[in-house]
Amino acid sequence: ETGVTQTPRHLVMGMTNKKSLKCEQHLGHNAMYWYKQSAKKPLELMFVYSLEERVENNSVPSRFSPECPNSSHLFLHLHTLQPEDSALYLCASSPRSGADTQYFGPGTRLTVL
Amino acid sequence: AQSVAQPEDQVNVAEGNPLTVKCTYSVSGNPYLFWYVQYPNRGLQFLLKYITGDNLVKGSYGFEAEFNKSQTSFHLKKPSALVSDSALYFCAVRKNNAGNMLTFGGGTRLMVKP
């Protein structure tokens, strides 16, 4: 295992629900990332946090709201999602912002009905 | 803007044979190049990276990759494939000093048959 955990591993939600994805890293890293992996599309970087400050927001719709309360935890709050938001959401961390190697969690498989 | 191309959606190889998974990139300046592997229902695992120095980079599980600046390629190779190597492989590039922007290719599914 990489030292990055994500919960839940699977989530099914309706378009009017509000849910949150959680990521935790046990590596002492200072940077954390959210990616979206859809079928037949390249991995898309959504957000980057460095020392709990958002440093990258890759034109993501406002129905996705990240939160980084400390350097070990990262959340992705979801509300009024669309079916096309169904995907695998991957969290990653690295020692510092801009560092070379990112370590990924197992992902949360999200299905929006 | 930086980009990565993995021209093959799938590569099929027999166990014991050498394998190559292709990757070409486009970036201005010096690139940082990476290979990641994704097994079913798992996140991405780091395999190897090229930053500078020797063009042949050795990584995990017997994989290696060769950086070719003139051809802007970074193909992943292994001398003898295992059935357990079957997975989805991603090439990624980051421009030197480009902060956090790691751009991934679309992925190549490697199928190793016994």
Q: What is the pLDDT along chain A (113 residues), one digit of tens a residue?
A: 679 999 999 999 988 889 999 999 999 998 899 999 998 788 888 998 887 777 776 789 999 999 999 989 999 999 999 999 999 999 999 887 665 688 999 999 999 99
Q: How far is A45 from chain B (nearest CA, A)?
A: 8
Q: Which residue of A has its CA nearest to B106?
A: A42
How far is CA B51 from its chain centroid? Answer: 14
Confidence at residue A97, expressed as pLDDT on a 0 to 100 scale: 65
pLDDT(B95) > 70 = no
| Distances from the Cα of A66 to the Cα of A19, A62, A94, B1, angstroms | 12, 10, 17, 25
Looking at CA atoms only, how far is residue A95 from chain B in angstroms? 12
| pLDDT for residue B98 | 57
Dihedral over Cα of A25, A31, A34, A35: its sign: negative
Calculate what percentage of chain B has a pLDDT beyond 90: 75
Instruction: Name chain B contacts of A56, Cβ cutoff 8 Å.
Output: 99-101
**Whole-angstrom Cα distance, residue A23 to residue B82?**
32
DSSP A27: S
- Give B56-66 pLDDT, tens digit per residue: 999 999 999 99
How far apart, in whole angstroms, are the C-alpha atoms of residue B114 and residue B13? 9
User: What pLDDT does B100 receive?
Assistant: 61
Residue predicted with more confidence, B100 or B29: B29
Nearest-by-Cβ selection for A102 from B51, B102, B103: B102
Question: Tokens in use for B78?
Answer: 């292994």
Cβ partners under 8 Å of residue B54, min gap 6: none
Query: Between residues B68 and A53, which one has the greater pLDDT?
Result: B68
Q: Identify from B2, B44, B45 which residue to disrupt to test chain A contact, counting A C-beta atoms within 10 A and taking the largest count.
A: B44
The pLDDT, as a whole number, for residue A48 is 87
Contacts of B43 in chain A (CB under 8 A): 2, 4, 6, 90, 92, 104-107
- For residues B33 and B3, is the Cβ–Cβ distance under 8 A? no
Q: Is B25 on the interface with A (CB under 8 A)?
A: no
